[in-house]
Structure 1
Amino acid sequence: MTHSASKVRSLPLPSPASAPREQGHGIWTALGLGLGAVAVLLPLGVVVLASLAPPGTPLGEILTPDFWTLENYQTAWQRGQFVLAFFNSTLVALGVTALQILTSALAGYALARLPFRGRRSLLMLILATLVIPFQLLVVPLFLVLKWGHLINTYWALILPTAANGFGIFLMRQYFQSIPVELEEAAALDGANRLQTLWHIMLPLARPALITLFLFTFIGEWNDLFKPLVFTTRPELKTVQLALADFQEQFTSDWPLLMAAVVISSLPVIGLFLLGQRQFLRGIATTGIKN
């Protein structure tokens, strides 16, 4: 008891002059975060308020209507065929996400743990693909898909982005943060590389996997370019194509368009809110290692 009391008495006490500075720093930090939150949430609030205005409200009166109504949501849901669009976008996004997780986990583990010649050069080549815009590859991709008779199919929307350099780099960095001793212990127990990856590395890399899942799913959900170029069949319409139809046909009806935007955004917002803790943990714990 005496030893513990002496340790408490030996702890350094904060100086009186540093307390006001720390309090002021906290106030400015909170103020900056509050302003940032307002800047992010204000456009979303404007979209929601505009979607509640009566149909046909002029743009100048869209935020100050005579009354609020949910009629735009019912009309947008029916005209946009969002049941079909949600199904197509979900199928494509899940297909791309599953393939990216598979390819990124395998390639990332190989680059992080397998000692082979040219490993660093291969990593640099993979990172170099991140600076190549997808639009530059659309012509050769279109020719390959046409040769394989995949145009106007779900595969035309899934296969072009089945692997991604960012996902490979993310998984490689996270695997490098896991102690090698865990794999050595598994090897002593008779586990091979695939067993070690499946039973040890992937469970420990859950934050990185959820981060990659969110990035990929949200990116594919918001993608307009691939459905616009590789499909023409109405039954393959995605959420972004449905929104494009609203902009072409109902340009003057802003409340209806805003309601369609809210409907299309709800799934990804809900998905991010469900996985935000693991997402932040994955970003925070994925350090850069050589």
Structure 2
Amino acid sequence: MNFKINKFIKENISFKFTSIISFLILLSGLIIILSPLIIVLYTSFFDNSSHPHFTLKYYQEAWQKGRFLLAFANSSIVAIAVTFLQIITSVLAGYALARLEFQGKNFVLLLILATLVIPFQILVIPIFLILKSGHLINTYWALILPTAASGFGIFLMRQYFVTIPLELEQAAALDGANRLQIIWHILFPLAKPAVITLFLFTFIGEWNDLFKPLVFTNNPNLITVQLSLASFQEQFTSNWSLLMAGVVIATIPVIFLFIIGQKQFIQGVGTTGMKN
């Protein structure tokens, strides 16, 4: 009896010790990861004058001098438009690759996957020439159309649609639903985690994109958040508090979106495996 009690006590102590060590390791990792963000926030609020104190004046100054109101509007228009188009093209193409049978389907899927390893920068010259021939340079379309479809999005939706039982579509077809109705009323709601995952990836990617606005536009009225931030950094290289305030302003929408959609994002990534 005493042996069992001693064994239980030792196992309990060992479990608590392991839990404490794991907690300390995770806490250390969290501190390391969050320390740059903490430094940025602290610097943006700190007024290093003769009487150091915390203030919001750098945010007000950065918002005005960085033209962030115009930049936010332009970035929002581009990011929302690209995200909307990518969701449509990815859902339709993903459904075709998951459900329809046609000659060369696997080859098409391989081609789509191959686009994932081609950097956008390699395609910039032909894309620029196409946009120029269509008189789209210095327009919103120059920032929207080059990324209106995504190989990643198509593959993501295809993989998710494969996991949905075919019987649901067959039942809807027996009730008289056509393919578009099946996609919109049956598959689209069921694929909500994958759609939100694609939305987050696309919106954040477009919001943080500097390359397209830099190459395809030179109109100051089409300035985006990243262009504004880059220009802002060139002007105020010595004022760290002002620079950090600009960085925080540009980052807030991305953090806010991820916090809202993180649960669906994790679910979408977790349930989208390599199923054939």
Query: TM above 0.5, one fold?
Result: yes
State which of 124, 139, 142 in structure 1 corresponds to 2:125.
Answer: 139
- Is residue 182 of structure 1 aligned with residue 168 of structure 2? yes
Q: Tell me, yes or no, if the aligned pair for 1:218 and 1:268 is still in contact at 8 Å.
A: yes
Gaps of 5+ in 2: 1-7
Gaps of 5+ in 1: 1-14, 58-64
Q: Tell me, yes or no, if the aligned pair for 1:96 and 1:161 is still in contact at 8 Å.
A: yes
The one-letter code sitting in structure 2 at the alignment partner of 1:192 is N
Equivalent residue number for residue 70 of structure 1: 56
Distance in structure 2 (CA, Å) of the matches to 1:99 and 1:222: 18
Q: How many residues align?
A: 269
Distance in structure 2 (CA, Å) of the matches to 1:187 and 1:93: 35
How high is the TM-score relative to the length of structure 1?
0.88
- Is residue 96 of structure 1 aligned with residue 89 of structure 2? no
CA displacement at 1:280 relative to structure 2: 1.2
Q: Tell me, yes or no, if the aligned pair for 1:55 and 1:256 is still in contact at 8 Å.
A: no
Q: Secondary structure, in 3 states, of the residue corresponding to 1:251? A: coil
The one-letter code sitting in structure 2 at the alignment partner of 1:243 is L
- Is residue 45 of structure 1 aligned with residue 31 of structure 2? no
Distance in structure 1 (CA, Å) of the matches to 2:115 and 2:87: 18
Distance in structure 2 (CA, Å) of the matches to 1:120 and 1:22: 50
State which of 232, 243, 247 in structure 1 corresponds to 2:233.
Answer: 247
Cα 1:16–1:170 shift into 2, 3 Å: farther
- Is residue 150 of structure 1 aligned with residue 105 of structure 2? no
CA displacement at 1:283 relative to structure 2: 1.2
State which of 217, 220, 223 in structure 2 corresponds to 1:234.
Answer: 220
User: Deviations for 1:113-153, whole angstroms, at most 9, x for unmatched residues?
Assistant: 11111111111110110010000011110000000000000
- Is residue 36 of structure 1 aligned with residue 29 of structure 2? yes
Cα 1:202–1:54 shift into 2, 3 Å: same
Cα 1:104–1:32 shift into 2, 3 Å: farther
Equivalent residue number for residue 130 of structure 1: 116
Equivalent residue number for residue 162 of structure 1: 148
State which of 98, 120, 128 in structure 2 corresponds to 1:112.
Answer: 98
State which of 242, 260, 265 in structure 1 corresponds to 2:251.
Answer: 265
Cα 1:173–1:29 shift into 2, 3 Å: farther
CA displacement at 1:24 relative to structure 2: 5.1
Q: Tell me, yes or no, if the aligned pair for 1:175 and 1:201 is still in contact at 8 Å.
A: yes
- Is residue 172 of structure 1 aligned with residue 166 of structure 2? no
Equivalent residue number for residue 3 of structure 2: none
- Higher mean C-alpha displacement, 87-96 vs 114-123: 114-123
Q: Tell me, yes or no, if the aligned pair for 1:174 and 1:285 is still in contact at 8 Å.
A: yes
Q: Secondary structure, in 3 states, of the residue corresponding to 2:152? A: helix
CA displacement at 1:274 relative to structure 2: 1.0
Cα 1:19–1:123 shift into 2, 3 Å: farther
State which of 189, 199, 204 in structure 1 corresponds to 2:190.
Answer: 204
| Identical-pair percentage | 64
Distance in structure 2 (CA, Å) of the matches to 1:135 and 1:56: 44
The one-letter code sitting in structure 2 at the alignment partner of 1:124 is L
Distance in structure 1 (CA, Å) of the matches to 2:204 and 2:85: 15
Alignment of 1:218-233 (within 5 A): 218-233=204-219
